A and B are shown apart, each in its own frame.
Chain A
Amino acid sequence: MISFLRRQGYLLEYSLASLARRPGKHLGLVLVYATLVFLLASTLLFTQSLRQESALVLAESPELIVQRLLAGRHDLIPASYLEQLGTIRGVGERYGRLWGYFYDPAVRANYTLMVPRAAPPAAGEVQLGAGVARARGLSPGDYLSLRSARGEPFSFRIAALLPADTELVSSDLMLLNAQDFRRFFDFPADRFTDIVLRVRNPVEVRKVAEKISLALPDTRPILREEILRTYDAVFGWRQGLVFVLLTGAMLAFVIFAWDRASGLSGEERREIGILKAIGWETGDVLRMKFWEGAALSLTAFLLGYLLAYVHVFHFAAVLFAPVLKGWAVLYPDFRPVPFVDGLQVATLFFFSVFPYTVATIIPIWRAAITDPDQVMR
């Protein structure tokens, strides 16, 4: 056992020395390698925390939303539907929501205007999302002036800014009370944007949704799990896009590594021959080269992963954000919450280290099994 460890120690020592002997070649390799790991890891870390964030937000969203459809398009829903929905078995608490979009020509962006259910702002006051506040350069106490649906100017006092921890969703949000909302949009008094239901027994959500479709044929119930799935699909798609690009990069890397390795220089080939001639076994040479590759790829992997971590969690993934989050105008200042998934690290490690090791070990193996008498020439 001691002798086994000692032997590996000698081989490791030799391979480290051998890495140090050709710094140019190996440094270049580490850099390319680390860049690849950096890109892959950044994507994974970023999309994962994005997905977690949106799941967190959606977890608080209602189980069932009922919209009215008119000619297949979303229409305002009459307040009287609230009572009819109350007669359906299994439906618990229910309320109408008021929300909509407003295009602000001053900053060329859409705001989401919404009446919160709990603690709505006082008349003439609003709570603003950070994105809106940034775009308009506003802080609490300032006034925000917008033109209403009738063309009259409306002035809102900013009571507060919305907390930044859910900024991904609330960035473009503007909260106001129901009277202000209806007056601003000239919104009919007996209508809501949609209706939200709680279902007493969560298992029955689908059944309740079916009953609603039957009782109120001009409506469409939307389940939370469907929203979750849509979000997932969107993020998944974006991630897929990035992955396609990265696969290309990966391929290039494998070719590069292959080229580096199969183009074992004459000197390296001779070195392998010398080692064998003076008494190293083929296995010793392979193990030594394995240590060499392991040291190199581990360094590159750690370096790349560390940089990705810093990039995503300290610099909010500045390089990727546009692709992964979409080109929102009121760009959310999303600060991902540090989160590392062990399985993900393992997968990434496997897919970056394994191809490299295989790509390099085969040509070395071919060089190592040939008879060493060539070194006598």
Chain B
Amino acid sequence: MIRLDAVSKVYNQGRHNEVWAVRDLRLELETRGITVLKGPSGSGKTSLLAMLGCLSRPSSGRIHLEGRLLSNLPERFMTQVRRSTFGFIFQRFNLIRGLTVLENVMLPAYPLAPDPGRLRDQALGLLRQFRLEERAHNKSEWLSGGEAQRTAICRALINDPAIIIADEPTANLDSQLSRELLTLIGELADQGKGILISSHDPLVFDHARVSRVVELRDGRLA
């Protein structure tokens, strides 16, 4: 359970270009099943996901995860929570150019210093699961959009997080690939992962597996 108490996010506060991306949001989210944050571009979905995933802090208000206050943890603990609890699938995939698919997938585990052989096996296992084993030693910049996204999913899963966060995951995919992606996400939900997705794509928020849709507009619940 994630609880938000009067959470706001403001950029450039006090300056002429001040933007309230999220305003006074009160909300409870399940950490199981698939939750979709729906809303037009600029409604604050990405800002909210970033705060939920400990990538940034609220300007005011509090966020609790399973009863634990996240929003004012020191930076180191925030990183630890982020690393152990959340896996991210970014809209622009954010794979690191010049590294192979396999290296990209293993990257989030480096600070945990696992046994290299085991880490490799685990990463290869994930790549097999997502039909990428043939790509393992290719550089990430040569992948197609669908492959890059599946690589990003493998990377999000390498530390076995409880919650997967995906920001507009279908924005760069055609309908066919979008459906395949939703199937994959459904499978992850079946394995017990909580999924938080932002999207303004009807293919996503009308999907049968989605358990809850939260609609945002101008940083508030619509």
Q: Which of A4, A274, A369, A371 contacts B56 (CB 8 A)?
A: A371
Question: B96 in the interface, Cβ–Cβ < 8 Å?
Answer: yes
Contact with B along A1-15 (1 / 0, CB 8 A): 001101101110010
Question: B75 in the interface, Cβ–Cβ < 8 Å?
Answer: yes
Q: A10-B110, A277-B88 are in contact. Are A373 and B55 (CB under 8 A)?
A: yes
Report A123-154 residues with CB < 8 Å from chain B CB: none
- B210 nearest CB across to chain A (Å): 21
Q: Are A278 and B113 in contact (CB under 8 A)?
A: no
Q: Are B111 and A280 in contact (CB under 8 A)?
A: yes
- B87 nearest CB across to chain A (Å): 8
CA distance A376 to B52 in the complex (A): 13
Q: A271-B96, A372-B55 are in contact. Are A279 and B82 (CB under 8 A)?
A: yes
Residues of chain A within 8 A of B107, CB atoms compared: 14, 275, 278
Q: Are A373 and B50 in contact (CB under 8 A)?
A: yes
Most chain B CB inside 10 Å of its own CB: which residue of A7, A372, A375, A376:
A376
CA distance A182 to B46 in the complex (A): 101
Least CB separation from B57: chain A residue:
A371
Report A312-331 residues with CB < 8 Å from chain B CB: none
Most chain A CB inside 10 Å of its own CB: which residue of B49, B91, B99, B111:
B111
Residues of chain A within 8 A of B98, CB atoms compared: 17-18, 21-22
Q: Are B57 and A278 in contact (CB under 8 A)?
A: no
Chain B interface residue bracket vs A:
20 to 34
Question: A83 in the interface, Cβ–Cβ < 8 Å?
Answer: no
Q: How many residues on the A side are at the interface (Cβ–Cβ under 8 A)?
A: 33
Q: Are A376 and B91 in contact (CB under 8 A)?
A: yes
Number of A-B contacts (CB under 8 A): 83
CA distance A300 to B75 in the complex (A): 35
Q: Are A17 and B111 in contact (CB under 8 A)?
A: no
Residues of chain A within 8 A of B83, CB atoms compared: 278-279
Q: Are B110 and A277 in contact (CB under 8 A)?
A: no
Report B29-80 residues with CB < 8 Å from chain A CB: 46-47, 49-50, 55-57, 75-76, 79
Least CB separation from B81: chain A residue:
A279
- A272 nearest CB across to chain B (Å): 11
Chain A's interface: helix, strand, loop or mixed, by majority? helix
Q: Are A375 and B79 in contact (CB under 8 A)?
A: no
Residues of chain B within 8 A of A283, CB atoms compared: 76
CA distance A309 to B213 in the complex (A): 71
Q: A17-B99, A274-B96, A277-B94 are in contact. Are A376 and B110 (CB under 8 A)?
A: no
Q: Are B75 and A376 in contact (CB under 8 A)?
A: no
CA distance A270 to B76 in the complex (A): 20
Report A237-286 residues with CB < 8 Å from chain B CB: 267, 270-271, 274-284
Q: Are A279 and B94 in contact (CB under 8 A)?
A: no
Q: Are A376 and B113 in contact (CB under 8 A)?
A: no
Most chain B CB inside 10 Å of its own CB: which residue of A7, A267, A279, A376:
A279
CA distance A373 to B57 in the complex (A): 10
Q: Are A267 and B97 in contact (CB under 8 A)?
A: yes
Q: Are B99 and A280 in contact (CB under 8 A)?
A: no
- A277 nearest CB across to chain B (Å): 6
Contact with B along A153-190 (1 / 0, CB 8 A): 00000000000000000000000000000000000000
Question: A73 in the interface, Cβ–Cβ < 8 Å?
Answer: no
